[in-house]
Structure formats: structure tokens, C-alpha cells
């Protein structure tokens, strides 16, 4: 498992930081509930990435743990569980619709998505 992680890490991070993005695919989440949880002091993937992702996914929720690093679930496990439980309790589950998703993929990104 650790060698797979290392290969993945080398593929997406270099001396400049993270070199891959999903912003051009965020539109695919429009029918899926999304809860982003981030640490304000994350030095691996800065909180600005969370803010960009949140802006690119209308309807998503963003919870920033002030003073937390890359592992907010480790820094404040009780709060993390509280946020996840609230999200589950107050969110309507997504319905899988293959044709809808296929249509999104075929139509591609729209201007309002980035």
C-alpha cells in the first residue's frame, strides 16, 4: 500500500506543489451532495484549494477547521464526526442516473463551472 501511495504522490505533486486539478470536472458533482472538510493550516493542499473547489461545486458545503493541518479528522475528531453526521442527517442522498451523468460528460464543462 505504501508503494502505491508513493507512486500516486509522485504523479500528482512535484517541487511546485500539487500539479493536478479537478476543477474542470467539478461540474460532474452537481447531482451529488458534497461536504468538504479542510484544515486552515494545511501545508499539503492549502485551504485556497478548498475554497476554489467549493466555488466550483454549487451546493457543496465547506467546513474549515481553524488551526488544523492536513488531517482535521485527527486534530479534532469529535468535531469531524459532528460535521459528517450533520451532513448525513440533513442531506438527501443522490440518485444514480447513468444517462444524466453520460449527458454531463458529453456536454462537457460550461462557463459557469469554473
- CA-to-CA dists, residue 44 to 28, 40, 47, 55, 94, angstroms: 25, 11, 9, 20, 30
pLDDT at 106 over 70: yes
Domain boundaries, the chain: 27-91
27-71 pLDDT per residue, tens: 888 889 999 999 999 998 899 999 999 999 988 999 999 999 999
- For the chain, helix (H) and strand (E) counts, in that order, are 5, 4
Whole-number pLDDT of residue 23: 77
Provide the CATH number for the domain formed by 27-91 in this structure. Answer: 3.40.50.11320
pTM given for the model = 0.75
Amino acid at each position: 500500500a505504501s508503494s502505491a501511495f508513493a507512486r500516486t504522490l509522485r504523479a500528482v505533486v512535484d517541487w511546485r506543489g500539487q500539479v493536478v486539478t479537478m476543477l474542470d470536472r467539478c461540474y460532474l458533482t452537481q447531482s451529488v451532495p458534497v461536504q468538504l472538510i479542510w484544515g486552515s493550516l494545511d501545508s499539503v493542499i492549502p485551504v485556497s484549494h478548498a475554497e476554489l473547489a467549493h466555488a466550483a461545486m454549487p451546493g457543496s458545503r465547506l467546513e474549515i477547521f481553524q488551526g488544523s493541518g492536513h488531517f482535521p479528522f485527527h486534530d479534532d475528531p469529535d468535531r469531524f464526526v459532528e460535521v459528517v453526521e450533520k451532513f448525513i442527517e440533513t442531506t438527501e442522498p443522490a440518485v444514480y442516473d447513468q444517462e444524466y451523468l453520460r449527458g454531463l460528460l458529453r456536454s462537457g464543462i460550461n462557463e459557469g463551472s469554473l
